Amino acid sequence: MSSIKEGEVLLSVENISLAFGAVQAISNVTFDIRKGEVRAIIGPNGAGKTSMLNVINGFYHPQEGTITFAGKTRSRMLPHEAAAQGISRTFQNVALFKGMSTLDNIMTGRVLKQKASLIEQAFYFGRGRSEEIEHREFVENIIDFLQIQAIRNQPVGRLPYGLQKRVEFGRALAAEPELLLLDEPMAGMNLEEKEDMSRYIMEVREQFGTTVALIEHDMGVVMDLSDRVVVLDYGCQLADGTPDEVSASQQVIDAYLGVSHD
């Protein structure tokens, strides 16, 4: 775990620019995320929000700009390095391992914490056995927390969409992340499910001190949950501040919430 304290900057991205061939996905975006806060990233479709998360994850490499996480600055990071440093995420189109059960999916979230050698696993002794049991316990706690006990052995491909998103959330939690990146965690959910998910996010922040960055379209959720918001549009940064500040900004209203023609 890093030595960053509550309230200090955990992650900051500076002057990030990302292009795919001729398409400029992100232009010169700078913002930071403080430890323990819930940071929302909002904007119209195509604004570059998911691309931004992908940059933080190390999946896309920006042509310009730097990322500073837990005090270390770099211009490019490999995905498994990001994971090893404590960045976890969920995806817009649920990226679960469809061939495995709920339990196994969440267990894969523990993969970086398991150190048993191949031989130990092959003969199920020593760390091969003890780690399986120990991490199984941890994962079961997450399953209890998310109230998905009933589906723990079901192949996730068969689960309804809302439950799949919950399992994916569990998998991200299993890694005990410092920074949790959530890409539209409420998409496709009904009111009850959204309330549940909001509750989980808040509890995760309170109980474990996890920092959360989330992309979300539901303005109600954004206003209620987040401490600060950054607004993107066509890859550019429009606003950065508390929910109240941002929703009052004329630029944001024009771009996002629509301009009225009177």
Find the binder of another protein among 30, 66, 121, 154 (CB under 8 A).
Answer: 121
Residue 242 CB, nearest approach to another protein (Å): 30
Tokens found for residue 217: 């379209």
Report which of 213, 211, 215 is spatially closest to residue 187, judged by C-alpha positions.
Answer: 215
Question: Alpha-carbon distance 185 to 198, whole Å?
Answer: 9
Q: Any bridge partners for residue 169, and if so which?
A: none
Specify which residues 145 forms β-bridges with: none
Q: How far apart are CA 185 and CA 169, in angstroms?
A: 8
φ and ψ at 176, to 5 degrees?
A: 50, 60
> Residues 63-102: x/- map of binding to another protein (CB under 8 A)?
----------------xx-xxx---xx-xx--xxxxxx--
Q: Is 248 an interacting residue with respect to another protein (CB under 8 A)?
A: no
Q: What number of chain residues touch another protein (CB under 8 A)?
A: 44
Task: List the one residue from 14, 37, 64, 132 that touches another protein (CB under 8 A).
Answer: 132
Block residue for tokens 């998905």? 148
**118 lies in the site for another protein, by CB under 8 A:** yes
- Check residue 109 for interaction with another protein (CB under 8 A): yes
Non-local CB neighbours of 101 within 8 Å, separated by 6+ positions: 152, 153, 154, 155, 156
Nearer to another protein, 106 or 229 (CB): 106
- Is 187 a binding residue for another protein by CB under 8 A? The answer is no
Integer Cα distance of 56 and 226 in angstroms? 19
* Segment near another protein (CB under 8 A); pick from 53-61, 210-218, 228-236, 238-246: 53-61
Q: Does 227 bind another protein (CB under 8 A)?
A: no
Give ∠ CA 235-179-213 in degrees, rounded to 5.
40
- Closest separation in Å from C-beta 18 to another protein: 13
Choose the stretch contacting another protein; rule: CB under 8 A; options: 8-16, 136-144, 184-192, 238-246.
136-144
Interface with another protein includes 182 (CB under 8 A)? no
Q: Residue 209: what residue type?
A: G
Residue 204: phi, psi to the nearest 5?
Answer: -60, -40
Positions touching another protein (CB under 8 A) are: 20, 50, 54, 57-59, 79-80, 82-84, 88-89, 91-92, 95-100, 104, 107-109, 111-112, 114, 116, 118, 121-124, 128-129, 131-133, 136-137, 140, 171, 175
